[in-house]
Structure 1
Amino acid sequence: MADMQTLCNSPSDTGGGGAGREAGLAHDEHQAVRLWLRLMTCSTQIEQVIRSKLRTQFATTLPRFDYLAQLSRFPKGLRMKTLSEYLMVTGGNITGLTDQLVAEGWVERVADDEDRRSMTVRLTRSGKKQFSAMAKAHEQWLEHLLAPLGADAARELYDQLGLLRQIVGQRAEQVAG
């Protein structure tokens, strides 16, 4: 598995301690674009590792893992509509995934307690067991990938990304409008 320096360097990197040069931009040019490209590069590379590991070690996909992760947070289950909103996918995608996971015995559909016309999906005992193993491995993969940062740098990066998330959230409407 790649270390963090390798992980977040783009193909156009020219050295310099892993700083990288996304899209061939000079160090002092287009800082906002460079930062965005760096975020996308790191995210994509980490996601590729996770997808590969899920496929080879658990014969599953990242969308299935994400689906199970959402359900694991809600032991009583979620309405299909709510699940699709959390995963930011269409209801059709959720229906297809649910059909597969029901057939495998990992989730079950039950009538919603509050609205009998609605269906809730929840993990079965088998689904909980399967997801628990995947979640443990997932965390280990991420710890391995991010360990070279060190605890202090990881906390600082987490805090800075949290700040960025707030700023982008506040400014998104201005850019869209």
Structure 2
Amino acid sequence: MSDLSKRRLKLWIRLLGVTRGAENHLRDYLRREHGTTLPRFDVMAALWRRREGVTMSDLSRMLLVSNGNATAVVDRLEADGLARREAEDGDRRRIRVRLTADGFSKFEALAAGHEAAVDNLFAGLDERDLDMMREMLARAGRVHETS
């Protein structure tokens, strides 16, 4: 293994550590401050972005989770009055899910808190740091896309 290869491996381990640490912090924040979970937040965010609603299959693909996981979260959101399912074009086999008005309001409050928590996580980085990191990650992503 070359020195550069070892350094890349160490970078990968560092990226995983930062990502897991940030995710754990956000999970804890959402649980403590809002009594919710990160998967629930992610589903609400996807539905917020797609106001016209999405099929359950599309939701699963968007979130990179199984249909069963997405269904379980949507079941709880629906029970809480934050989302609703509707048959698409009268076809009961194709279900579209969307946020309710209460769901939109709840998500917007969650999103504001989530943004503040993320801002706090990366408060040690200035504008230049953020631009540099975004560029480096974009380059790393382009390398991955071509291989």
TM-score bracket for the superposition, by shorter chain length:
over 0.9
User: Which SS does the other structure have where 1:122 is aligned?
Assistant: strand
Query: How far apart, in 2, do the equivalents of 1:28 and 1:156 lie?
Result: 21
TM-score, reference length from structure 1: 0.77
Map of 1:84 onto structure 2: 60
Map of 2:114 onto structure 1: 138
TM-score, reference length from structure 2: 0.92
Map of 1:152 onto structure 2: 128
Query: After superposition, where does 1:51-70 map in structure 2 within 5 Å?
Result: 51-70=27-46
Residues 101 and 46 of structure 1, relative CA distance in 2, 3 Å threshold? same
Identity score, percent: 35
User: Which SS does the other structure have where 1:118 is aligned?
Assistant: strand
Query: After superposition, where does 1:96-175 map in structure 2 within 5 Å?
Result: 96-113=72-89, 117-171=93-147
Query: How far apart, in 1, do the equivalents of 2:97 and 2:145 lie?
Result: 30
Map of 1:50 onto structure 2: 26
Residues 155 and 114 of structure 1, relative CA distance in 2, 3 Å threshold? farther
More helix by share: 2
Q: Which runs of 4+ in 1 moved over 3 A?
A: 113-117
The amino acid of 1:117's aligned partner reads R
For structure 2, the 5+ residue unaligned runs are none
User: Which SS does the other structure have where 2:93 is aligned?
Assistant: coil
For structure 1, the 5+ residue unaligned runs are 1-26, 172-177
Following TM superposition, by how much is the alpha carbon of 1:169 offset from its aligned partner in structure 2, in angstroms?
Answer: 2.4
Deviates more, 1:35-44 or 1:113-122: 113-122
Larger radius of gyration: 1
More strand by share: 2
